[in-house]
Structure 1
């Protein structure tokens, strides 16, 4: 069979109406080549610290990407056959055979954002002009392997080629920052910073909580089993992260619950947590209290808070037992924000020194709760469509559900939140195209002037994200003195 061509239509994702599409084209041209600001993600900082070449298409594009293998798993394809490591280590697998299995099932991704991202990577990054399928699998595997063996496809060269101006990774409070220190000492000009994710030493229900606490103590020199020592340890680690360029923290709690306990109540709760005398309700209350404690520290040191709640993690018990966390089995849940955030907002909601970016996997909360909250409290902003909703339709729904109440300026642009480094330009391109299409529709409906849409296109691509994440702002004096 003759290979089908791979071609990216220049009008993809633009409105179908000719006049509105013309407006979207013009707006997109004004932002298409702007630098990429990636303020939240999960790429591996050792890639940029060591700048070693990737070896093959499977280890680079398939094995790390849960968006890909969750779809394949849903169709009965075993993760072992896809070279996904088990908890005890990967089973012997031929990476070419794994790639061939993926290619033979590439049709499963029709209509999904993964298909948009992957086709962009294949065409724009690797210059491939035939579609991926079983017949072209070997061509892809060989072509990508040849490219990866060249200096032009090492991590730093691609970072520069992609036009990335700022990229944040995410590390835990119990992680060392040696990779970021090596990046800083390398003389390379790429700006790769870290983000403070303390969940590992906050969520007592996590199976690795105890070893994480041991490491937390080692890194800080504090008695982390004493309430005041524990809080001091967080302050020390936050200072370490700021020294490595961090401007933000991140909190991936099961819910958005917050609490503001009296000091003695908080200390009693912490004692129950660290002495294994806790219930699930205690674990939830401690997570809630720690969001408020983290907000207090953000008022002190200027770090922006990100709250990513509402995922039922590792829903597939058998897969969790065999392959561990983050294997595509996380499922969105209903999430309350109005009542959940009230204790934190009662204490800090009117503090202009605090900045909290809220995300959701529960789209029903956008118009009902999140947009009204962000449209009122000075400390709140809305994060972009996230995870399952990081898609053209998800982005459109986000704008439609939030703009009339929160406006554009209580949002924070786009972030890609990805482990898949090569997909970053594709994801940002999708966001720019969708936003330009949305703005074009408002112009066509005479709800925005053309010059306002042009300004907003710049803001949604660059201005809002720079300000929201305080990328170009100096730390407050208290943070500098820490």
Structure 2
């Protein structure tokens, strides 16, 4: 008995469902372009077997962790290491059993779709995961992971991935990317420049990060011009290793466009360690505009991921560190916040700034009108809490009428959970084909046009926008 309905996510009305099926069949097996995500380049460099089912499926998945935690399961019981080195569950089978016993919590969520897709299509399982099937699942997946066809490179090829981007710190030595290049393997794994560690004065270890940034680049990061030179140097290092994009995870979309003298004074305040919260925010905003200018120089596509209150739980942050499922969306202003950057470079046709969003109310009101006017702007796909069937559909309905399809950039999966990559792309392709089928059936799009748009949303737009 299959876990997945072959017509999942398609419209209910018979004509639209048939058309959605036909559109989907034409794009379902297109190569995957994964231009933004958080897979570990070490996987592909070493090509070692994944350790066990729990560390493959449960431990790296924020969606899984937050749901289980919301029901009172401590992160320590799921094998998440404590910052103080205190005891946590170390037995992967026990972790798996806890996950399986609570799998019902994911009913109706996108996580269940992604996980069931992985279980059925990657591992050939056809029974529902629950407490009774937990051990059978664990044993089967563990047995699969011992086989060469389940190593990272083999799965990359089996998933039909054409290119995948990792997200990397400016302090990273990028040795795993170098190792991949030296190995002769033909898979394309590119790095992405994520400079937050040396841009956010309120981030952990900023002063030491700034010092290390100078060591890594050989630039004087105690001086504004030297600091900017360090970014240019490091961006060039990334580009030599295949990078095509930068990424910026700021609390807000605020930008600034200070003149050189004012920016230098602000940087001096930041370096002093005595900057106010307002000055720290202004500096982050100034750096978004500086990064956009640098993208005009070197051609790197710029991604802005604003609007998340990261690590909202102080207790979880203190005990387990960042990235444990406690990032929460906030209200986000784009029209006013982006104006300084757009006044500086928004009309540049050779610049691509991709805006991501966690405030759905802003899509129709602010983001689609902005991207529908400024040549430099594109809209990223529904992200994080909204990369669901409903979120994708709402995005298309809110954005298309003002920005069209071609001011968006297709789909990216933004995941650490490797086996969910084909599942997430499958969901996006099904939802888009369903939306296009409805447009055809209501007389707003010709069937031949729908087929072209389905191809573009599934493959071409991501490949061309990210220059992959």
Superposition TM-score, scaled by structure 1 size: 0.96
In the other structure, the counterpart of 2:233 is 236
CA distance in 2, matches of 1:6, 1:214: 55
Contact 1:312/1:333, CA 8 A, preserved across alignment: yes
2:41 to 30, 41, 45: 45
Distance 1:324 1:149 in 2: 31
Measure how far apart 1:86 and its partner are.
Answer: 1.3
2:311 matched residue in structure 1: 314
Contact 2:39 / 2:418 at 8 angstroms: preserved in 1?
Answer: yes
- Contact 1:174–1:213 under 8 Å retained in 2: no
Q: Work out whether 1:23 is the aligned partner of 2:19.
A: yes
Q: Which residue of 2 aligns with 1:422?
A: 419
Alpha-carbon distance, 1:92 to partner? 4.5
- In the alignment, is residue 62 of structure 1 matched against residue 63 of structure 2? no
Structure 2 counterpart of 1:268: 265
CA 1:6/1:73 → structure 2, altered by over 3 Å: closer, same or farther? farther
Instruction: Tell whether the 8 Å contact from 2:77 to 2:89 is kept in structure 1 after alignment.
Output: no
Equivalent runs, 1:49-448 vs 2, <5 Å: 49-89=45-85, 91-448=88-445
Deviations 1:182-215 (A, max 9, x none): 0011000000000000000000101121232232
Distance 2:392 2:92 in 1: 34
Question: 1-side partners of 2:324 and 2:432: how far apart?
Answer: 30
Q: TM-score, normalised by structure 2?
A: 0.99
Secondary structure, in 3 states, of the residue corresponding to 2:354?
strand
Report the alpha carbon displacement of residue 170 of structure 1 after superposing the two structures with TM. 0.4
CA RMSD of the aligned region, Å? 0.8
Distance (Å, rounded) in 2 between the aligned partners of 1:417 and 1:278: 33
Q: In structure 2, the residue corresponding to 1:452 is in which secondary structure? A: helix
Matched positions, count: 467
Range with greater deviation from structure 2 (118-127 or 79-88): 79-88
Q: Deviations for 1:76-117, whole angstroms, at most 9, x for unmatched residues? A: 011111111111346242111111011000000001000000
SS of 1:146's equivalent in the other structure is helix
1:6 Cα deviation after fit: 4.4
Distance 1:55 1:369 in 2: 45
* SS of aligned partner of 1:37: strand
Q: Which runs of 4+ in 1 moved over 4 A?
A: none
**C-alpha separation between the residues in 1 aligned to 2:411 and 2:207?**
35
Counterpart Cα distance in 1 of 2:419 and 2:388: 17
Say if 1:247 and 1:303, in contact at 8 Å, map to a contact too: yes
Structure 2: 5+ residue stretches without partners: none
C-alpha separation in 2, matches of 1:368 and 1:257: 17
